[in-house]
Amino acid sequence: MYHEDKTFTVSFSLEAHFPDDYEGDEDEQAWLHDWESRVMPDVVKSIFTTLRKYPSWSARVRNRGIAPTEAIEIALIKDYTKPVNH
């Protein structure tokens, strides 16, 4: 079977800025917890909601041994070997 592929990367760089008198770790990285527990799941959900609008593509999370707090890879497949249903 012939196969082609392409990698497309979307990357988020997270930062938190604090006032000059901040001593560090006072909030136990609440900003990061907010990203991991609320924002990131909503971003991933939104991505899959959009991808479902295109049924000719199948999408799944691909785990390559990297913690989901560090990276999420979404595998998209357009399969021309299956018959098209009209």
Q: What is the pLDDT of residues 14-71, one digit of tens each?
A: 999 999 988 877 788 999 999 999 999 999 999 999 999 999 999 999 988 888 889 9
Alpha-helical runs (H) found in the chain: 30-34, 40-51
pLDDT of residue 49: 97
* Domain locations in the chain as residue ranges: 30-77
Query: Model-level pTM?
Result: 0.79
* 72/86 Cα distance (integer angstroms): 33
Query: H or E element: which one contains 30?
Result: helix 30-34
Query: What contacts 58, CB < 8 A, 6 or more positions away?
Result: 76, 77, 78, 79
pLDDT of residue 12: 94
Q: Tell me if 75 sits within 8 A of 59, measured CB to CB.
A: yes
* 16/28 Cα distance (integer angstroms): 12
